[in-house]
Amino acid sequence: MPSARPDALAAWRLRSEPYYRPTAREVALFEHAWRHRLPVLLKGPTGCGKTRFVEYMAWRLGRPLITLACNEDMSAADLVGRWLLDAEGTRWHDGPLTLAVRHGAICYLDELVEARQDTTVVIHPLSDARRQLALDKRGELLHAHPDFQLVVSYNPHYHSSTKELKPSTRQRFAALAFDYPPPEVEAEIVAHEAGLDSTLAMRLTELARRTRALKDRGLEEGASTRMLVYAGLLIRDGADAREACHMTLSRALTDDPDLGAALHALVDASFP
Amino acid sequence: MPSARPDALAAWRLRSEPYYRPTAREVALFEHAWRHRLPVLLKGPTGCGKTRFVEYMAWRLGRPLITLACNEDMSAADLVGRWLLDAEGTRWHDGPLTLAVRHGAICYLDELVEARQDTTVVIHPLSDARRQLALDKRGELLHAHPDFQLVVSYNPHYHSSTKELKPSTRQRFAALAFDYPPPEVEAEIVAHEAGLDSTLAMRLTELARRTRALKDRGLEEGASTRMLVYAGLLIRDGADAREACHMTLSRALTDDPDLGAALHALVDASFP
Amino acid sequence: MPSARPDALAAWRLRSEPYYRPTAREVALFEHAWRHRLPVLLKGPTGCGKTRFVEYMAWRLGRPLITLACNEDMSAADLVGRWLLDAEGTRWHDGPLTLAVRHGAICYLDELVEARQDTTVVIHPLSDARRQLALDKRGELLHAHPDFQLVVSYNPHYHSSTKELKPSTRQRFAALAFDYPPPEVEAEIVAHEAGLDSTLAMRLTELARRTRALKDRGLEEGASTRMLVYAGLLIRDGADAREACHMTLSRALTDDPDLGAALHALVDASFP
Amino acid sequence: MPSARPDALAAWRLRSEPYYRPTAREVALFEHAWRHRLPVLLKGPTGCGKTRFVEYMAWRLGRPLITLACNEDMSAADLVGRWLLDAEGTRWHDGPLTLAVRHGAICYLDELVEARQDTTVVIHPLSDARRQLALDKRGELLHAHPDFQLVVSYNPHYHSSTKELKPSTRQRFAALAFDYPPPEVEAEIVAHEAGLDSTLAMRLTELARRTRALKDRGLEEGASTRMLVYAGLLIRDGADAREACHMTLSRALTDDPDLGAALHALVDASFP
Amino acid sequence: MPSARPDALAAWRLRSEPYYRPTAREVALFEHAWRHRLPVLLKGPTGCGKTRFVEYMAWRLGRPLITLACNEDMSAADLVGRWLLDAEGTRWHDGPLTLAVRHGAICYLDELVEARQDTTVVIHPLSDARRQLALDKRGELLHAHPDFQLVVSYNPHYHSSTKELKPSTRQRFAALAFDYPPPEVEAEIVAHEAGLDSTLAMRLTELARRTRALKDRGLEEGASTRMLVYAGLLIRDGADAREACHMTLSRALTDDPDLGAALHALVDASFP
Amino acid sequence: MPSARPDALAAWRLRSEPYYRPTAREVALFEHAWRHRLPVLLKGPTGCGKTRFVEYMAWRLGRPLITLACNEDMSAADLVGRWLLDAEGTRWHDGPLTLAVRHGAICYLDELVEARQDTTVVIHPLSDARRQLALDKRGELLHAHPDFQLVVSYNPHYHSSTKELKPSTRQRFAALAFDYPPPEVEAEIVAHEAGLDSTLAMRLTELARRTRALKDRGLEEGASTRMLVYAGLLIRDGADAREACHMTLSRALTDDPDLGAALHALVDASFP
């Protein structure tokens, strides 16, 4: 089957180097784990750069990256594959996880905690010393390609206690914790991604910092780095800075009138 | 596949300019977002013109518009596509979202908050810097057409706290807030759409304003602009104004006897 | 496709004029709505004549009538259509709603409130200015036939607060309220339908009125006009009047011993 | 289709006259309803003879009888029919209800209250003046055969308040109430069915009467007529009367130790 | 179809006489029921010999035995049969219940209370005077083979009040109650099955009796006869008696530390 | 069918001897059970070596090992097999359990308590004297190969009382209890698996012991042996010992800030 198509993973190779600005020793630690192909768990809030980090590491390590956003309606067959009916009868179709295991990609399961149980247990024999994937419906026990690595992420901040990774799953991963970058680093990222000068980028970063403080007053999450980039793009395009921030920050973050007014006031104070 | 049929999106091109009466700077702000292809979120009550606005922007920007009303029973396959069995075996059928992504349409997901999780996460890689759609069942990673844009809407007023957009979804959008238009603008719309003179249109608008005030007394939503147009059409057709308003406003808004009587009184007071 | 069969709606054309006895101005108001093809909502209790009214209007307006009884297990595909497998591969099969939209029938969705969400949102673009039906699985955006009209019904009396039409659905309809007819009219209907003389019909009507008063004592619904017709048919056929009323009214209305005894007493008092 | 097979209902014609012992005027009342083809509802406890009554009436009226035991997992397609795949493509297969409607049988839906909503609403247009069955998946609107009649049953005694027939369903039926027969009649039935002499049959009937009195002490249902026939058969076969009654009555009626001991004592007292 | 294969039930005929040690008059009572083909219900705790009894009776009566373990995920089609797709189209496949009904086997439904409703109602017309099985999907009404008998079992001890056999089901069966055998009989069974001498077998039986007394202290069930046989086999194989009992009794019966210690002490006291 | 392919279980034979360090008499006890093919239940916490033990025993006994991770979405068909459509019609495909039963493998059901009911009851006739597997959909009653053995595991520590093995399942197994190995043994394992010197391995083992003591303060599970191996691999690869332990222990074990800080302090104290 590998010989049938020259590069089964061509679609998942990164075309260009993703922009990533390290904030600590996360690159080196990931590389230690990669050398032993230890499964890696990325923890951290929405929009702080977990996905970009995996893209960057895949580029750096020269491996294709297959990403799957976990959800309650994703079945094990969606991961592993299924039989499809064809003119000559049924034909086996490798799912994305099987593609990664068979041909040696990094497989990134985003928000693993949202997955159903059958999805979660499928990765157990892949994330211990066995490194196996059972394709039961095909009668095949697949031993992982030497370059296969499993990476998963989740956001520990807004999951209820009923929806947590089970210890039997957690204990299979080496974990890296992510958070929003320090102000200067975040400003550097915003300036780079939105094409802003550093003063304006710093002002947006400072505004974000204040919205994050509203979590104590009930805001589910503060502004992410991605939202600052959105605001910056609109401002550079000629939009009024206040209107741009209302559009990308205040209204997107909440529907609550009180929190909305508080965010509105923070925006107005930042761009008087 | 694009070459197979000359214009895969022909059915979704608007045939004529939709009537839309701007109420603030929403057209300019949408165009800022469009230039960077930022995903846009429209918030606002039922029947205030969100759908008409998207139709108008699609016409103005010269893009086809593919609309999908989200609901709990819509699966990811309904969005993305599926394999269909054919005389020559299975054939891939692009879903409406895939059509928009592949050929460059505006894709409008109405009431996104009603969608199941698998639908919601499908749009995540389309609504950040990646602009990708994974057709896992086809083994294809689709990079969005340069003219693809994602627009979603929802009505923050009658969703319970258990049914809200998750922060990880919200933070991917620039948001515009809609409400019923100011009285003169609403009267202008009603006069245009129902073919009424402005006095009668203004009287209907005034009646709507009063029904909206009943929200404090338990009415779920007041009369929408669309309902005023319905009333206007019946009146212009020769129906008694009171009967027309009872038919299109009082009875349609509630089954509660007390609220029904209150609405009845408002109608009678408006058309004594 | 219209040319393939000369009259795709032949099965749904009414064969003879349905008997309908108007009680107010509902015929004229429906005709006003029909002229603008406004969607119409019929509210009212079980067995008071909503279905018969729609049949009568369809006959009067010369349109075929496609009726669908909504329920929790009806899927959008049951309404819109599906691909069926054939000797030459898959073949599209229009669902009943699509038939009505494509060829111009009145489509009557009985007890819309019982429908699942995916059914309900399917009719949204059909019930506003767009008058469109998206056949996503076929890649077709169907514009409604000029003679298509949507009519829905529901019974506001026995739905819990959790099962209500959402404002975003209600606001798309002009509404007519139905109730049991006034005594003389109801007696006229019973006499006509069961072939009774007017004295006996009036006595049954009077009995029904008393059963309806039992709603204050816990009876879910009183006797409907249809039940009086049943009783009348049995009596005309030679059954004892009391036995006929016990069979068609008392036992059919409740299993509660106290309410059953009360109904029994009402019957005995009516036919001493 | 009727001409394709000479008697599509041959399998459902009764082969011999079922034994039925009337207890009141139920035969005459059913015949009144039959003459107008009114739908009939049979109410009463388990094993009191409802099914036997319908069999008897079908025999007496010379109509085939199609019986369906309703349950939560029975779908509308199980009633109405479905497309089956064949060597020459798909072929429509009439469900049992459709068979009855098309060719004119009595269709008996046992324990209708256990059915899902989609099953229940399917019978609505069959149980009012329309007498129609919509085969939506076939695009056919079937008008009932003149000899079709609908009969349903349910046991009002052990249904919770959440599982009741809705008024919109109940009001479509003329109802007959059943209960265990009076002692002499029940003894006559037991003697006939089990081949016992009347003294022994009367003793079993008396025992049953006492078990039914235990409902006040928490027994869900007392012994049915059918259970007495079972006991009689074992006794006639040579089993010890006490052992036979313990086997067919005490142990079958309850798992509760106290109620079991009470039943045990009743049996021992009956056969000292 | 019977002629197509000479013995459709060959796989379900017992190959050798099962070892069964009667404890009361259950064999004779079962034979009384068999002669009238009355459905039989076996009640009793886990591992006390219900399954072995049915195997023995099937051997004794010379009938094949088809056993089905009921569960919530078993559908009516799993019992009755289904259409399978073949090279020449669809072909009907009798389910195990249909096989038994058509060709005359004893059908044993183990733990009937675990079955879904559609499974339970399927057996209703088989367990009264009708002895019919409706193969609705095939349009066949099957009359049971004269040698067909229905046997069901359940364990009344650990079912919640919400999961009980409904009266309408219970009343169709003659019931036999099972329990663990008296000590001498149980020792005889253990000695025979594990090849132990009677002293050791008696000691294990005595230990079991003590574990069953722990039900008063919260143990869900005490040691079954089967567990004693397991312990005996290990001991005869050379395992230390204490270790063998810990492995087959203490650890298998509970995870609760206190109950586990109590069981441990009982084992140690039995084999000092 | 066995002759069709020379070794149907080739994929499941172990390629090399798995490293396993016994901690008590578990190997001898398993061999006693194996000689009588008694089903074995392994109880114990996550990552303590249950899976490795089964692999070792399969190697030692020279049997192939088929492992299945149980979960709520695994159906009986996933275990037993199903009909697949082929160019020549349908073809039966043995599921993994059937493969093991037919050809004589050890079948290991990991975390049996997570399985659905239909999965659990499927193994009942395999785990008593019958050693049968009913392939109902194929009409085959399979008698187990003499070398077939069933092994199941579960972790009694974090299951709620609603999710437990039922007595009727538990009583079919001989049980072995597992726990983390004693310190010297665990250090020996870590040294072997991660290639560490024994001092460092002992220090990691000591750290693990302290994390396990945190269960009293709310930590769901302490560090497993597997986690120590992960930490050891990173340290041997040159990572800072503290960073390696934070990555593989502190962050992987909890998201709780207080417990995280406690773990952090334990790590820092171990590697000052």
pLDDT in tens, C100-143: 999 999 999 998 988 887 788 889 999 988 999 988 778 789 99
User: 């067959």: which residue's tokens?
Assistant: A77
Contact B114 C117 (CB under 8 A): yes
- The answer to whether C and E touch (≥3 CB pairs < 8 Å) is no
**Do D and E share at least 3 CB pairs under 8 Å?**
yes
- Predicted-assembly ipTM surpassing the 0.95 threshold: no
pLDDT tens for each residue of A84-133: 766 566 778 899 999 999 999 999 999 898 888 778 888 999 998 899 99
Q: Judge: F118–E47 Cβ closer than 8 Å, yes or no.
A: no
Beta-carbon separation of F76 and E72 below 8 A: no
Task: For residue D269, give every residue at least 6 positions away whose Cβ sits within 8 Å of its Cβ, in sequence order, or none.
Answer: none
Shortest distance between the Cα of A196 and any Cα of chain B, in A, equals 15
Which tokens in the block code for residue F177? 């209890």
Mutation to test the C interface, candidates B1, B55, B71, most C Cβ within 10 Å: B71
Touching, E vs B (3+ Cβ pairs under 8 A): no
- Name the residue type at position E132: Q
Angle at the Cα of D226 (from D224 to D227), degrees rounded to 5? 70
Residue pLDDT, tens place only, D252-270: 999 888 999 999 999 999 9
The reply to whether residue F38 touches residue E252, judged by beta carbons under 8 angstroms, is: no
The whole-angstrom distance between C83's CA and the closest CA on chain B is 9
pLDDT of residue B3: 46
Give per-residue pLDDT as tens, E55-103.
999 999 999 999 998 887 788 888 998 877 665 667 788 999 999 999 9
Measured between beta carbons, which residues in chain A are less than 8 angstroms from residue B35? 237
- Residue D76 above 50 pLDDT? yes
pLDDT at C1 over 50: no
Distance from CA of D227 to the nearest CA of E (A): 7
Structural contact between residues C173 and C152, judged by C-beta atoms closer than 8 angstroms: yes
Q: What sign results for the dihedral spanned by CA atoms F233, F237, F241, F243?
A: negative
Which residue is closest to E71 within chain F, CA to CA? F118
Cα–Cα distance measured from residue B154 to residue B111, given in angstroms and rounded to the nearest whole number: 4
Contact B87 C89 (CB under 8 A): yes
Q: Looking at residue E86, what is its pLDDT? A: 62
Chains in contact with chain F (at least 3 beta-carbon pairs closer than 8 A): A, E
C123 CB-near residues (< 8 Å, 6+ apart): C39, C97, C109, C150, C152, C169, C172
Question: What would the DSSP string read from start to end of C244-259?
Answer: HHIIIIIHHH---HHH
Nearest CA in chain A to B158: A255
Tokens 């023995």, residue?
Answer: E56
Per-residue confidence (pLDDT) for residue E88, from 0 to 100: 61
For residue F118, list chain E residues with Cβ-Cβ distance below 8 A.
71-74
First to last CA, chain A: 63
How many Å lie between the alpha carbon of E154 and the closest alpha carbon of chain D?
A: 11
Instruction: Give A-chain residues touching F237 at CB under 8 angstroms.
Output: 32, 35-36
Q: What is the CA radius of gyration of chain F?
A: 21
Mean pLDDT, all residues of chain C: 89
Whether residue A89 and residue F94 make contact (CB cut-off 8 A), yes or no, is no
Q: Inter-chain contact F73–A118, Cβ cutoff 8 Å?
A: yes
Contact F207, F245 (CB under 8 A): yes
User: Which chains sit next to A, with 3 or more Cβ pairs under 8 A?
Assistant: B, F
Checking if the pLDDT of B161 tops 60, the result is no
E and A touch with 3+ CB pairs <8 Å, answer no
Q: Enumerate the β-bridge partners of residue C149.
A: C106
- A124-130 own/partner pairs: CB under 8 Å, 24+ apart: A124/A168, A124/A169, A124/A172, A124/F69, A124/F110, A125/F67, A125/F69, A126/A39, A126/A101, A126/A150, A127/A39, A127/A172, A127/A173, A128/A172, A128/F51, A128/F226, A129/F52, A129/F193, A130/F51
- pLDDT higher than threshold 50 for residue F1: no
Cα–Cα distance, D27 to D49 (Å, whole number): 13
Question: CA D74 to CA D78: how far, in whole Å?
Answer: 6
CA–CA min distance F166, chain A (Å): 21
DSSP chain F: -TTTSTTTTGGGS-SSPPP----SSHHHHHHHHHHTT--EEEE--TTSSHHHHHHHHHHHHT--EEEEE--TT--HHHHHEEEEEETTEEEEEE-HHHHHHHHT-EEEEETGGGS-HHHHHHTGGGSSTT-EEEEGGGTEEEEPPTT-EEEEEE-TTS--TTS---HHHHTT-EEEE--PPPHHHHHHHHHHHHT--HHHHHHHHHHHHHHHHGGGGT-SS---HHHHHHHHHHHHTT--HHHHHIIIIIHHH---HHHHHHHHHHHHHH--
CA F254 to each of CA A195, F251, F259, F270: distance values in angstroms, whole numbers, following the listed order: 39, 6, 7, 19
Q: Which of C76, C172, C174 sits opposite B247 (nearest CB)?
A: C174
Q: What pLDDT digit, counting tens, does each position of E167-222 carry?
A: 888 889 999 999 999 999 999 999 999 999 999 999 999 999 999 999 888 888 89
Sign of the Cα torsion B128, B129, B131, B136 reads negative
Write out pLDDT tens, residues E253-268.
998 889 999 999 999 9
Q: How far apart are CA B204 and CA B231, in angstroms?
A: 8
Q: What value does the mean pLDDT take over residues A231-244?
A: 95
pLDDT number for residue C85: 67
Contact between B43 and A221 using a beta-carbon 8 Å cutoff: no
B176 with B31: CB under 8 angstroms?
no
Hey, what are A140's tokens? Answer: 């095949």
* pLDDT tens-digit series, residues D24-70: 899 999 999 999 999 999 998 888 889 999 999 999 999 999 999 88
Confidence of residue D242 (pLDDT cuts 50, 70, 90): very high
Q: Which among E44, E33, E123, E111 has a CA at the least distance from the CA of D251?
A: E44
Q: Which two tokens stand for residue E109?
A: 């439904």
Cβ contact (<8 Å) for B83 and A84?
yes
Q: What is the mean pLDDT of chain B?
A: 89
Give the residue with greater pLDDT, D6 vs B125: B125
Give the closest-approach CA distance of E74 to chain F in angstroms: 7
> pLDDT band for position A167 (50/70/90)?
confident
Bridging pattern class, strands A81-86 and A89-94: antiparallel
Using alpha carbons, list the distances in angstroms from residue A56 to A17, A19, D267. 7, 7, 82
D232, pLDDT greater than 80: yes
* Probe site for chain B from A71, A110, A180, A250 (most B CB atoms < 10 A): A71
> What separation in angstroms does the CA of B46 have from each of B49, B151, C116, C172?
8, 17, 20, 10
Nearest-Cα distance to chain E for D195, in Å, is 12
Q: State the alpha helices, DSSP H only, in B50-197.
A: 50-61, 76-80, 96-103, 117-122, 167-170, 183-194
The helix/strand count (H/E) of chain E reads as: 12, 9
Q: List CB contacts (< 8 A) between F25 and chain E.
A: 243
Instruction: Find, among B213, B226, B272, B218, the residue nearest to B252 by Cα.
Output: B226
pLDDT of D140 > 80? The answer is yes
In the numeric block, which tokens belong to residue F172? 């079919």
End-to-end CA distance of chain C: 63
Place of tokens 């017709």: C229
Q: Tokens 């739905």 correspond to what residue?
A: C159
Least Cα separation, residue B230 to chain C (angstroms): 7
Query: Do E252 and F170 count as a contact with CB atoms less than 8 A apart?
Result: yes
CB spacing of E227 vs F171 below 8 angstroms: yes
